[in-house]
Amino acid sequence: MDDNPYVTIVLPCYNEQDHVIQEIERISAAMDSSGYSYELLAIDDHSADQTLARLHEAAPSFPNMKVVAFHRNGGSGTVRRIGSQEARGEIVVWTDADMTYPNERIPELVQILEKDPSIDQVVGARTSEQGTHKMLRVPAKWFIRKVAEKLAGQEIPDLNSGLRAFRKSVAKPYLRLLPPGFSCVTTITLAFLSNQHDVYYLPIGYSKRAGTSKFSFVSDAYRYILQVLRMIMYFNPLKVLMPPALSLIGIAITKGLVWDMIRHPFYLAQNTVMMFTTGLIIGSLALLADLIVRSRGD
């Protein structure tokens, strides 16, 4: 293994015994022919099948692969966070071992970063949806993506793609923010966008998953939208809190002048006063939160 690899590929492996070696072969073949020096961190997230055994058996055949075994299941976000923190490469690549992403195109993502220093992250933007619960996932993901676009202030073709490459030096301050689950990919996207780091979206195909999906529609969709709000609150709380604050104040003033004063001159209804006061409180919290963010220094 190269002592100073240019690229580190973080590959979470959880119950992927039937196809994990095929995926490693595909990644290794692409990287070997690319000319980039690299390391492949195959991290077993305490699989319940023979995934770890298969990785250890195959390790001698892949000199650039390092097998890491977790003693408990930490989630894909934990795997990606620890893998990125331990990465020795300047460029870190995230992908999955379930045969869905075109991992033969990883060198293409790295090349974009290498050729354009102004780009800090390249995301494989999927052009199709092949996941489970497709009828529910598509509208839910569209809604969450639109919320994220509104809050981030820019277009996001794919908010939660698992295939991406980024500069480790840029991502390092944000790795501690990664949650343990699938929403880690959403987090790293919003962290870059909220801090004005350029993100490039490369259209990619998306294949049907091999094996059983670990995605739970209800719980994971809830975590996705919660994480979107959390990240925007972390970097730009005014975008989350000020719209409802101004809306409540505006409604209260309009109701007070147009409705309350006509029905009962010089008298404001109790709900009008409550809306106005609530708007002021939320607005004050928004300004205080923004002050904290700007004084935080990260």
Amino acid at 229: L
User: Got the DSSP string for 24-59?
Assistant: HHHHHHHHHHHT--EEEEEEE---SSSHHHHHHHHG
**In contact, 125 and 203? CB cutoff 8 Å:** yes
What is the number of alpha carbons within 13 Å of residue 155 lying toward its C-beta? 4
Three-point CA angle 172, 102, 95, nearest 5°: 25
**What is the sign, positive or negative, of the torsion defined by CA atoms of 196, 197, 203, 205?**
negative
Region for 266 from its dihedrals, namely left if φ exceeds 0, alpha if ψ lies in -120 to 50, beta otherwise = left
68: phi then psi, degrees, rounded to nearest 5:
-120, 130
Here the tokens at position 165 are 């490459």
Percent of the chain with pLDDT over 90: 63
Identify which has the larger pLDDT, 149 or 117: 117
Query: What integer is the mean pLDDT of 112-134?
Result: 84
Q: Quote the CA–CA distance of 17 and 54 in Å, as a whole number.
A: 7
Amino acid at 176: R
Lowest mean pLDDT among 144-148, 217-221, 265-269: 217-221
Quickly tell me which residue has 């002592």 as its tokens.
3
Q: Quote the CA–CA distance of 93 and 91 in Å, as a whole number.
A: 7
For 2-33, write each residue's pLDDT tens digit: 679 999 999 999 999 999 999 999 999 999 99
Assign 242 to helix, strand or coil. helix
Query: What integer is the mean pLDDT of 266-292?
Result: 92
Q: Is the pLDDT of residue 124 over 90?
A: yes
Q: Quote the CA–CA distance of 123 and 214 in Å, as a whole number.
A: 22
**In contact, 121 and 197? CB cutoff 8 Å:** yes
Order of strands across the sheet that contains 65-69: 65-69, 38-44, 7-13, 91-94, 164-167, 119-126, 198-204
Structure pTM? 0.82
User: In which element (H, E) is residue 114 found?
Assistant: helix 106-115
Here the tokens at position 233 are 């609150």
Lowest mean pLDDT among 96-100, 205-209, 281-285: 205-209
Q: For the purposes of burial, counting CB atoms within 10 Å of the CB of 263, is it exposed (0-12), middle (13-18) or buried (19 or more)?
A: exposed
Q: Quote the CA–CA distance of 205 and 189 in Å, as a whole number.
A: 19
For 172-196, write each residue's pLDDT tens digit: 999 998 988 768 898 899 999 988 8
Lowest mean pLDDT among 35-49, 83-97, 265-279: 265-279
Query: What integer is the mean pLDDT of 136-151?
Result: 75
Q: Quote the CA–CA distance of 135 and 185 in Å, as a whole number.
A: 22
Residue 164 has a CB neighbour count (10 Å cut-off) of: 26
The pLDDT score that the predictor gives to residue 224 is 72
**In contact, 91 and 175? CB cutoff 8 Å:** no
> Considering only CA atoms, which of 280, 160, 281 is closest in space to residue 231?
160
User: In which element (H, E) is residue 203 found?
Assistant: strand 198-204
Identify which has the larger pLDDT, 221 or 124: 124
The pLDDT score that the predictor gives to residue 226 is 80
